[in-house]
Homo-oligomer: A and B are copies of this chain.
Amino acid sequence: MRNFLLTTCLGAAAVFAAGGAFANDELLKLSQDAKQWVMPTGDYANTRYSKLNQINAGNVGKLQVAWTFSTGVLRGHEGGPLIVGDVMYVHGPFPNPVFALDLKNDGKILWKYEPKQDPNVIPVMCCDTVNRGVAYGDGKIFLHQADTTLVALDAKTGKVVWSAKNGDPGKGETGTSAPMVVKDKVLIGISGGEFGVRCHVTAYDLKTGKQAWRGYSMGPDSDVLIDPVKTTELGKPVGQNSSVKTWQGDQWKIGGGCTWGWLSFDPEQNAVFYGSGNPSTWNPKQRPGDNKWSMTVWSRDADTGMAKWVYQMTPHDEWDYDGVNEMILADQNIGGANRKTLVHFDRNGLAYTLDRTNGELLVAEKYDPKVNWTSGVDMNKQSPTYGRPKVIAQYSTEQNGEDVNSKNICPAALGTKDEQPAAYSPETGLFYVPTNHVCMDYEPFKVSYTAGQPYVGATLAMYPPQGETNMGNFIAWDAKTGKIVWSNKELFSVWSGALATAGGVVFYGTLEGYLKAVDAKTGKELYKFKTPSGIIGNVTTYEHGGRQYVAILSGIGGWAGIGLAAGLTDPKAGLGAVGGYAGLRDYTSLGGQLTVFALPQ
């Protein structure tokens, strides 16, 4: 009966979708106009590549600040602005103001929207009060508030068109991620993995805010929107109740698998892609089994939400290697064949190249040589453990047991990369990846679940790899072979989203506050500028009035900057004990500013 209903619902959704094709066409077309930047990811493929080349490797050294804007909010500023026509939309962390700025008039404020939210949401935001950006579509701006309200604003006036409640902050569910508009729907994930919530991606109708579909990361097939036969993993049907049977009892109900990373969309496949996060508590002993489908790459049908294929990267997580990082849809030539690939840099330190049409695993290699918890992924298709990472016993926090401090595990819980999105240049064929170069001590302990209370179950300390002082690298990656092409050391994690351009330049920000431009081929530093505060935002470019601009949000915070952002004076305090970043206080201070650069006129 459940399957019957499901099929019926899907049919209805498919019919409904046809009527929304316009929104998709408009947005698809806008996203192909290099002069604008109409979605937080730049394009549906999440390449963060721009065809603009007015600013190039030869002249980027002359870049200067064109104008600036303060958001009026301190703490971590993730994400970046949208540019739609003559208007720039700028967002901020809690209380989540949104500004529409007039590009024809030095950023004059056309409108400002600031929701009224219960400040009690702040304590249930695990890793600063961040927000990763707004989405545009159908003449509306979509904001996912900290309190999980998804609100649609009239892009011209800032007036609320509709709002929908995506979750319950009382249970620890919060909103930090950016929505993505796909055809006639707006899709959004949810945060709260450290509070034992069960996460999902949900699609809302663009015009009304009515829920169209919701796919959970774990639970019965009907909740997860999995078809036991048609949904595959590594080419095989996942079978019935593929999720529930990998959990003990009802643990899937508090199973995490959060969905706060960046979404991607492949119009040709009509598929959305994203990763699901850690299986809630960081104490692996407490949740036996593979904990599916946490830590998983997802491909879902954009209209129905039904899972096309899944791939669990880190079964039974023992390190909080949250699998939420973005999927970059960039075709690669693998072994002489052009493949429709998806490239993903996971928190677990492995970079995956998959066939995005079917989830076939093509490449899985470490993108930081210090990664030590695994010797790599079993690539033998005949092996019963095909596709699974081989865990080194010394770094297995499960095997070491509760209340045992496992030392020098690399990467640390915040991963070789976290939410900071990488970029891809079709010209060089390289991926540009902001990375963390951080290891940890990890001690799991027994924790009990109370709704709305932290459900972490591990203490940890984070620091650079032994004998090293740099906590970050900015690397160029060849996803065809799984090799680092060049690597630039950074003092702290590079927690800023990269931008690659047709000018042969790659941009990124640093936690000290520098915006940097490097040569896409060699990594040579061509330009740097000290913005008012540390950068955890993503670099954006656009053209207006015939002039190319580069924009970046400053505002130290996020997980790496939480010590400064939340005013923790004890470097060992806070989630994940970000003591290694204590030195940040010598470089920067809280802020919330947009800096816009251009060449001299």
Contact = CB atoms under 8 A, between A and B. Distances in A.
A590 B72 contact: yes
A348 interface: no
A127 interface: no
A385 to B, nearest CB: 49
A113 to B, nearest CB: 13
Contacts of A108: 586-587
B68 A530 contact: yes
Contact of A600 (B64, B67, B69, B533): B64
A74 interface: yes
> How many copies of the polypeptide does the oligomer hold?
2
Contacts of A591: 70, 72, 591-593
Nearest to A102: B586
Contact of A71 (B106, B529, B589): B589
A588 interface: yes
Given A554-B70, A600-B62, A530 B107 contact: yes
Interface residues of A, number: 36
Interface of A: 62, 64-65, 67-74, 97, 99, 106-109, 112, 529-533, 554, 585-595, 600
Contacts of A595: 68
Contacts of A588: 70, 109
20 contacts: A68-B530, A68-B595, A70-B590, A70-B591, A72-B74, A72-B533, A72-B589, A72-B590, A74-B74, A99-B589, A108-B586, A108-B587, A109-B585, A109-B586, A109-B587, A109-B588, A532-B532, A532-B593, A591-B592, A591-B593
Contacts of A65: 64-65, 68, 529
B586 A69 contact: no
Contacts of A529: 65, 67
The 5 A-B pairs of least Cβ separation, nearest first, read A70-B591, A70-B532, A72-B589, A72-B590, A65-B65
A530 B595 CA distance: 10
A99 B99 CA distance: 30
A532 B69 contact: yes
B67 A589 contact: no
A587 B112 CA distance: 11
Given A65-B68, A67-B529, 13 more contacts: A62-B600, A64-B64, A64-B65, A68-B530, A68-B595, A69-B589, A70-B532, A72-B533, A107-B530, A108-B586, A112-B585, A532-B594, A593-B593
Contact of A106 (B72, B530, B590): B530
A99 to B, nearest CB: 7
A547 to B, nearest CB: 15
Contact of A67 (B99, B530, B554, B592): B530
Contact of A593 (B67, B70, B107): B70
A586 B591 CA distance: 21
Contacts of A530: 67-69, 106-107
Nearest to A92: B589
Contact of A589 (B109, B554, B589): B109
A67 B591 CA distance: 15
A73 B590 CA distance: 7
B68 A532 contact: yes
